[in-house]
A and B are shown apart, each in its own frame.
Chain A
């Protein structure tokens, strides 16, 4: 009996026409040759059965096949597998090329935005540190610039507050002015004119403080600002400060088209209407610009649901996402504008001028650091003196900034101050919005209408009066 088709053939009753039988292995299984060949062929095609294709299912003996397998066929098979391997390599290379070029494009966009942002923030005078031509950039520019837009956006989330801007400022404040060929030539031309005694760094203590100092102080300033502004906000809105439940969930509602109104939970208002002590509902149930002075996310509390009350939701719609990212990227431009406004205002006030430390734009050529170094008699100085000079140099860079920063018109300083003023103004405007919204909700009253033309029997009254005109307003029902 063939184990595949289960057809039986008896020894004394041969089938016409005769079919070939085969006994390919050590056990008692026999099969029609055609059945077995079609089984082998079909299981070789199937990936899951291919390893067992040539094995007997009962005893495991390997079947042996004979076929017409000339050299040409074997050669062609081998050629086919080699070309397939090459094809695999090409696929991998192609896909990685596409991904790399995509990444490169993104990198270029980020870097050019970073260069634009640095220029806006530091002012046109800072052509010294970053010129138009990328081939003149110091090496760290290529790492720092693409990080600029990323860190601007991240600095608006509650996670990283001052941190990502630090690497940017660190690099820039300590770098010497960029050497262009043009500047090298003018420097050589002027070498005779400048005195060699000029040190390449600025004075130790300087106003405005060096960018390095500003960078270190920035996180403290922002924390203090936020803490006091939050207190102020709670005082204005009359709420209790929250117990600090963290944001628990993000609701992604990118298709939400409704203009999400600023939401204020009525239950959090001082309970004058209830005539009781103010409820200690311990979460800031109102809409809070909680994230950051520039934060835009709307926290939509669900006032009715007590479980959700303890949980904060952040609702991300297509509008709020755009405001968040767009606002972050606009920061350099805004600070530039504010700086320009402050500059104009400073014409009227000498006190402002001193605070902003406005100086005329730099006319001299930037000092070449190496030249000064060579001019000092290092070999004649003792070790202690060398150390002293080195420490002095480092401290002055920290305190006063490199000579570039010390002598130039500190556009960046008034830009920073302007940005701070802008942030404060924006927070105040937001607070005003919240306050007015709260007032609007508090002063809502529903208008009643008279009962003319209403059938008295339709109303749900306890003691229906006989005279419809006797219905006072409002009615008890």
Chain B
């Protein structure tokens, strides 16, 4: 318990003092369980002008265990149309699963997702979107994603 709180406290302090990178802002970080950040892709991209919101959920073993990250889907925000993002906001990204390591941080994850959106060539949903969303668990960490280079598939 202490480890995750201390680490998150440090990250929060760093955000408050050094600020966030361009396009990323801290929306809400009241406790050490759930944080909300907003994400915007700057420059010329498929997502110009679109604002998204990310929800981070931490468990007591953070940063040994990865946070649960997904795009917020509600009245105000929608999930971006991307081959690795499902319509319920779940993200198929290796750094959130097999490639997670404690050297990453909340800001690092945001930057990676920002570049993932920026490098997207074609706005479309993942091929198995409907099937996945029909049976998806609430927490994306429960899904066993299969990571491909170009497109992704999920095996819940």
Contact = CB atoms under 8 A, between A and B. Distances in A.
Interface of A: 3-7, 29, 35, 38-39, 42-43, 48-49, 51-52, 57-58
B98 A3 contact: no
Contact of B63 (A4, A49, A58): A4
A6 B10 contact: yes
Contacts of B98: 48-49, 51-52
Contact of B6 (A7, A29, A48, A52): A7
10 A-B pairs with least C-beta separation: A57-B101, A4-B102, A48-B98, A6-B10, A57-B103, A42-B64, A3-B103, A48-B97, A39-B64, A49-B98
Nearest to B8: A6
A35 B7 CA distance: 12
Given A39-B64, A42-B61, A48-B144, A6 B99 contact: no
Contacts of B29: none
Nearest to B4: A5
B11 interface: yes
Q: Interface of chain A, helix or strand or loop or mixed?
A: loop
Contacts of A4: 63-64, 102-103
A58 B108 CA distance: 13
22 contacts: A4-B63, A4-B64, A4-B102, A4-B103, A5-B7, A6-B7, A6-B10, A7-B6, A29-B103, A35-B102, A38-B64, A39-B64, A42-B61, A42-B65, A43-B64, A48-B98, A49-B100, A51-B98, A52-B101, A57-B101, A57-B102, A57-B103
A301 to B, nearest CB: 33
B101 to A, nearest CB: 4
Interface string B57-85: 00001011100000000000000000000
**Which of B3, B64, B144: most chain A CB closer than 10 A?**
B64
Interface in B94-144: 97-104, 144
A45 to B, nearest CB: 11
Contacts of A51: 98
Contacts of B103: 3-4, 29, 57-58
A48 B142 CA distance: 12
A62 to B, nearest CB: 14
Nearest to A31: B102
A444 B53 CA distance: 67
B43 to A, nearest CB: 27
Nearest to A3: B103
A43 B103 CA distance: 14
B102 A3 contact: yes
Contacts of B65: 42
Interface residues of B, number: 18
Contacts of A29: 103
A43 B98 CA distance: 9
Contact of A6 (B11, B61, B97, B144): B11
Contacts of B100: 49
A42 B97 CA distance: 13
B40 to A, nearest CB: 27
A52 B100 CA distance: 9
A52 B99 contact: yes
**Which of B10, B101, B103, B104: most chain A CB closer than 10 A?**
B101
Interface string B40-66: 000000000000000000000101110
Nearest to B101: A57
**Which of A29, A42, A49: most chain B CB closer than 10 A?**
A49
A51 B98 CA distance: 8
Contacts of B101: 39, 52, 57
Nearest to B95: A57
A7 B3 CA distance: 10
Nearest to B141: A48
**Which of A52, A57, A58: most chain B CB closer than 10 A?**
A57
Given A5-B63, A6-B11, A38-B64, 15 more contacts: A4-B64, A4-B103, A5-B6, A5-B7, A6-B6, A7-B6, A35-B102, A39-B101, A39-B102, A42-B61, A43-B64, A48-B97, A48-B98, A49-B100, A52-B99
B5 to A, nearest CB: 11
A5 B62 CA distance: 9
Contacts of B102: 3-5, 35, 39, 57
Contacts of B11: 6
Contacts of B3: 5
B69 to A, nearest CB: 15
B144 to A, nearest CB: 7
A43 B61 CA distance: 12
A52 B6 CA distance: 25
A356 to B, nearest CB: 62
Interface string B1-43: 0010011001100000000000000000000000000000000
